[in-house]
Amino acid sequence: MNNLSKSALSKWFQNLQHEICHGLEAVDGGGKFIEDKWQRPGGGGGRTRSFAKGNVIEKGGVNFSEVYGNTPQKILDALSLEQADFYATGVSIVLHPENPMVPIIHMNIRYFEMTPSKSKTKHWWFGGGIDLTPHYIDPADAGFFHKQLKDVCDRHHHSYYHKFKRWADDYFFLKHRDETRGIGGIFFDRLSSDDAFTKAERWKFVQDVGLIFMPTYRDLIARNKDKPYGEREKQWQFYRRGRYVEFNLVWDKGTKFGLDTGGRTESILMSLPPQANWSYNFHPGEGTPEHQTLQKLKKDINWIDAGNT
């Protein structure tokens, strides 16, 4: 794509949202997305597409947004910038499955631009990532997932996967629990042009990350959707969903940015599960599948090699 205007980027994100929603409906075979278009006071808006009570997906959403306007002071302070206007567009996805054996998946890819009031120079960058949060960690699934991401990264630069995997390990980490949210994935931010990469090259990478979402999650669903489970597994799923809620409300920068910029609360909190539990000081029995999963919620695991053992 040679046209890298804001409208062209926004249009591509809108098309990706449509393609992913269509693909998920086909995989689920039961539920349908409901679209809710909204406007942001101050500039822009988006369309939230929510999904509930499907055959595979219990709750989820695939959101598109294109927002702009005056940058709130707390954002300027965080970025050490003077007064500026901002523009942001992208797609955000979170899916909570019905079957505890199917993992939660999250993806966000976005473009951000800031124009300081006292300058005509625009600051722009891409950000995003994709990560997986299994309720029960299967090393084979984890290895498959990370191999898909490494293949995408390697098509663009040999340093991408290891750099962005480490970034994801550090980002999707519950410091107050000393555990990762799941098995990570890749995470990147502030990707702009430099001596090594043009804007077009950065954009192509972001596009490829977006395009890998549907085939990867389709395979993970197929691997796990028919596995049996009972009340014990559902209670563990609710417990692990509680950790997901903790991360999104305490640590997630995207949630904070959306709320700080006057974003639509219902769309921002779409990522929360339909049901989650918190059990006081709960510790699963040693050697149980639940305990084994907890032992794997660590940084710096080579999941590709672990999945091949």
**And the tokens for 6?**
């804001």
Farthest CA pair distance, the chain: 61
Question: Positive or negative CA dihedral for 153, 155, 156, 159?
Answer: positive
Measured in degrees and rounded to the nearest 5, phi and psi for residue 199 equal -65, -40
Instruction: Name the β-bridge partners of 191.
Output: 126
Pairing of strands 184-191, 104-116: unpaired
Catalytic site residues?
106
Q: At CB < 8 A and 24+ separation, what contacts does 160-164 make?
A: 160/186, 160/205, 161/186, 163/188, 164/129, 164/188
Residue 134's nearest CA partner among 303, 300, 305 is 303
